[in-house]
Amino acid sequence: MPRKQRMYLSGVPAHVVQHGNYRESCFFQDEDYQFYLAVLGDALRRYRMQLHAYVLMTKHVHLLMTPTDESGISRVMQACMFCM
């Protein structure tokens, strides 16, 4: 059974947590963090999102961002998914 679609409202900040596969480590060296931030920055610009705060931890990421439309967060997270 598929997961229910998440609802994000335009202009309302959302806290998003992204875990590595099976909650295993996804960042092993400094270059991994830098690559993730570069991909995230590109996606934020492409989908016109505001990033207010972030925390990159070894096994997961916390993001506080505000979408300009209802699909912005989903699109940004899809763009960053291959990094994890």
The yes-or-no verdict on residue 84 having pLDDT over 70 is no
Domains of the chain: 14-81 (3.30.70.1290)
pTM of the model: 0.86
> Please, which pLDDT band fits residue 1 given cuts at 50, 70 and 90?
low
**Which pLDDT value is given to residue 46?**
94
Q: 75: exposed, middle or buried (C-beta count within 10 Å: 0-12, 13-18, 19+)?
A: middle
The yes-or-no verdict on residue 20 having pLDDT over 90 is no
Considering only CA atoms, which of 2, 14, 33 is closest in space to residue 73?
14
Mean pLDDT value of segment 6-30: 89
User: pLDDT for 64-76, tens place per residue?
Assistant: 999 998 889 999 9
**Which pLDDT value is given to residue 35?**
95
